[in-house]
Amino acid sequence: APVYRLLSPLAGLCYLIVALILSRQQWLGPAWLTFGSLATLGLIQLFFGYIENYSFAATGILLYLGLGLAVLRGRVPLWAAALALSVTNATHPSTVVLAPSLLYIGWQLVARVTVSAQSTHKPRRYSLRMATLQIGLPVIAVALATVLFMEVGGHGIQALLTDDRPGGGDARWLVPLWATSTRWEYYTMFSWEHLRDFLNEQMLVAPVVLPSLVWIGMETFRRRRSHKRSLTASQPLEATGRRAADFDFLLIATLCYIGFIWLWNPDYGGQRDWDLFSLASIPAALLFSESVALVLPERQYLRTGALPLLIIQALHTIIWIYQNTLPWEWP
């Protein structure tokens, strides 16, 4: 526990540094919007001495997403993003749900459809073989190293198949469809209780992100139905393609994580497993940052529309962190 209390704030410092570097690139929108979206999330609570390794996973996810965006611009090689995700998977296996987004990057590089208009880096031609190797080798190397370290530490494969097996006490991974059968299951897949837990948890860690994304999606659908021109239609084709690749990458990461937290059965209930499910807010926050910047391209409207939302989220997170300093007991 003392080690976690020391490393958790260090992980938080790394998280903020990565968020600052990513926001300064202004790939998704103004720096204040990207940094504010990430720094006001409720998962910041994980960096206040939290005695779990979710703080490392959160930092790893943000680093991977930032490197993924850099790969799409030809700034860094594909293996760098693959290595970041592999190490993040080692900190917590649930982050493997981001694998489809990594495969999307590889596909984009093979197809050569994501070239930055202003980039001074020449686009590299990735063959299918090269992309496969740059994704596969880091994943295999980190997986083998993780298993080796676990075995040397006396907590290896046998533990993963018994005491620490995925699925918790009943070894059941998913929320049951129609009926609960163990004390580790609290509701069925399509019940109101399940939806309530899902929404409560997301409103706890990202109170403005999910509602804003829903509103943006509805507004985009409405504009398409009315046959209005896209807000980015005046941009160069290469820039439009780049932004589309960014959006698709973040959308895949967000949907994969939201799908995971909807399907996965929380052994201790949604309230106690908030830390596991909070990680889904990171790709969602980046998607929020880019989506708002696309819907409100004029700076005046962007500040007027987004700044109050970030202030509300920041106040909510401050209250949430303060609440956790007070003594309490589980009901």
User: Does 325 have pLDDT greater than 80?
Assistant: yes
User: Torsion-angle region of residue 298: left (phi > 0), alpha (psi -120 to 50) or beta?
Assistant: beta
User: Does 97 have pLDDT greater than 90?
Assistant: yes
Position 162 scores a pLDDT of 67
In whole angstroms, how far apart are CA 328 and each of 92, 323, 324, 325, 331?
Answer: 28, 9, 8, 9, 9
Mention every residue, 6+ apart, whose C-beta is less than 8 A from residue 278: 41, 42, 43, 46, 54, 58, 201, 204, 205
Rounded Cα distance between 128 and 118, Å, is: 26
Position 144 scores a pLDDT of 93
**pLDDT over 70 for what percent of the chain?**
84
Q: Which amino acid is at 39?
A: A
Of 283 and 241, the structure prediction assigns the larger pLDDT to: 283
Position 229 scores a pLDDT of 53
Position 117 scores a pLDDT of 41
Q: What is the mean pLDDT of the chain?
A: 85
**Which pLDDT tens digit goes with each residue over 76-90?**
999 999 999 999 999
Of 97 and 222, the structure prediction assigns the larger pLDDT to: 97
**pLDDT over 90 for what percent of the chain?**
52
Structure tokens at 23: 């926001």
What does the domain layout of the chain look like in residue ranges? Answer: 2-323
The conformation of residue 17, written as its DSSP 8-state character, comes to: H
Do 318 and 278 touch, CB atoms closer than 8 A?
A: no
- The CA radius of gyration of the chain, in Å to the nearest whole number, is 20
Rounded Cα distance between 155 and 164, Å, is: 9
**Which pLDDT tens digit goes with each residue over 311-320?**
999 999 999 9
**Which pLDDT tens digit goes with each residue over 236-265?**
334 455 678 899 999 999 999 999 999 998
Rounded Cα distance between 125 and 114, Å, is: 11
Give start and end residues of each alpha helix (H) in 226-280.
237-263, 269-272, 274-278
Position 26 scores a pLDDT of 84
**Which pLDDT tens digit goes with each residue over 42-60?**
999 999 988 788 999 999 9
User: Quick one: which of 290, 288, 304 has its CA closest to 29?
Assistant: 290
User: Does 223 have pLDDT greater than 80?
Assistant: no
Structure tokens at 67: 């490197």
